[in-house]
Structure 1
C-alpha cells in the first residue's frame, strides 16, 4: 500500500448541523472527482478513512478504512461518508482529533509507505483545565513526528483571521506539510478537492504540479 490518509474533520460545537452536512457532502463529492481519483491512481493504492472530532472527553466518530484503487472504490468510500450520522459535538479539541486519527494509522493491517492526516477546523484549540482523557495538541504533534506522519490542514478563517497562521505554527507536522485557508463554507468543496490532489501524490509530484496556497 502506498498511502494511508485520514481526514480528521471538525465536528465541535462551533460547527452547526448544516455545516457538518456540508463538510460531509464536500468530502464525498471530492472522492467522486476524476482528478482526485487520478491522483490516487498515480500512487497505486490508498487507504482512506475519516475521523470526525470534537470534545476530547468523548469518542471521536470513525469511518473505517476503504482501500481505493480506482473510481469504484472511491464511490464506495463517498457513499460511506454520505451516510454518516453525527454523534460528535463539544469543545474544539484539535489535539484529541489528531490523536484519534493517529490511532487509526496504527492499524496493523496498514503497511503504507506514507501516512497522512488531513485535518480541517474553524477554530483554535480549546484552552481548559487539564482533563484526564484529552490529548493536548502538543502531545498529538509529538506523536505524529515520532510516527513519521504528515499532518496537513484546511482552515475556515471566517471568524478568526489569524487562524491559518495558528495552524501553521501549532498544528501541521512534516517537512512538506502545508495549510490551506478559506473564508466561507462555499469554498470548502473546492478546497478539499484541491487539497487531496495536492497531498495524495508523492511530494515531488505535488510540488511540481500544484501552486502554493
Structure 2
C-alpha cells in the first residue's frame, strides 16, 4: 500500500476493495466526464496529513498510526461516515521537504464498509520520513492526492496533525513553501483542519489557525501531549464528518477566501 508517488488510476483499486458495490464502479468512470450528467461522485475525499518529522519519535509515530486506525474502527466514527455518505480516504506522511512523502492508496468507505481496510493499511505502514518540519511540502503532497486522475468529491478535506511550525529552509531544498501550498489550497477549494500537538509550543494552535487552517468551517484543535492524541483525533474526525460541517463546506465551496 505504501508508495512515494501517487498511484496512476484508481478504478482497479476501488473494484478490488469493494467489488460488491457496483454503483461505486461508476464513481471514477463518470467523474470528470463532461458527457456524464450528473456525475456520480463521493461526498467527501479526506486526506490525513500526518507528521513524521524528526521531532516525532518512533514510538510517537507508531502511537499516532494506531490511534488513527483505532478511530476508524470506532462505532461513532463509522456512524459519522455513514451519515456523510460515500467517503474516500487516504493518508500521507510528511517530514523533511527534501525527501519524498509517503502515501497510502485511496480507500472508499460506504455504509461502514471499507473502514477496516483503511485502518489495516495505516497499521502496516513503515516509517521512511524524518527530518525538518516542512508543513508546506506535506500539504502539497496532500493536494496532489486530491488532484489525482478520477478523484471526484463534493468536499475536499485535509486533516493535518503536527507538533511544530514550518522549518525555514532555502526554497530550493523543499518541494513547496507553506505559502505556496495555501495558495494552491485556495485555487482548489480545499478545506484544511489542523490538530496541534502543543507539548513544547504553547502558541502552536494559534500558528496553525493563522498559517495552516483554510476554508469555511475550517478549525484547529489542540492537545498538550501525544497521550491526548487518540481522543482528539476521534473528536476531530467526527466534527469533520458532521452534517453541519458538510453543509457549511458545500455551501461555500466556490467562494474565494
Q: Does 1:35 align with 2:80?
A: no
Give the Å deviation of 1:133: 3.9
Q: What TM-score do you get using the length of structure 1 for normalisation?
A: 0.94
Question: Displacement, 1:203?
Answer: 3.4
Q: Which has the larger radius of gyration?
A: 2
Q: Cα deviations across residues 10-38 of structure 1 (Å, max 9, x unaligned)?
A: 00000010000000000100000011111
Q: 1:128 is paired with a residue of what secondary structure?
A: coil
Residue-by-residue CA offset, 1:56-84 (whole Å, 9 max, x unaligned) = 11110101110011334101110000111
Q: Distance in 1 between matches of 2:45 and 2:195?
A: 18
The total of aligned residue pairs comes to 207
What stretches of structure 1 of length at least 5 have no aligned partner? Answer: 208-213
Structure 2 residues not aligned, in runs of 5+: 1-41, 249-257
Structure 1's 204 and 140: CA in aligned 2 closer, same or farther, altered over 3 A?
A: closer
206 and 14 in structure 1: CA distance in 2 versus 1, 3 angstrom threshold:
farther
**Counterpart pick for 1:188 among 214, 218, 229:** 229
Aligned-pair RMSD on alpha carbons? 1.4
Q: In the superposition, relative to structure 1, how do residues 27 and 206 fare at CA in structure 2: closer, same or farther (>3 Å)? A: farther
Q: Displaced runs of 4+ in structure 1, greater than 3 A? A: 202-207
Contact kept, 8 Å, 1:32 with 1:71, in 2: the verdict is: no
Contact kept? 1:153, 1:180, Cα under 8 Å: yes
Q: C-alpha deviations, 1:119-142, integer Å up to 9, x for none?
A: 000000001122244200010011
Q: TM-score, normalised by structure 2?
A: 0.78
Aligned-partner Cα distance in 2 for 1:50–1:14: 20
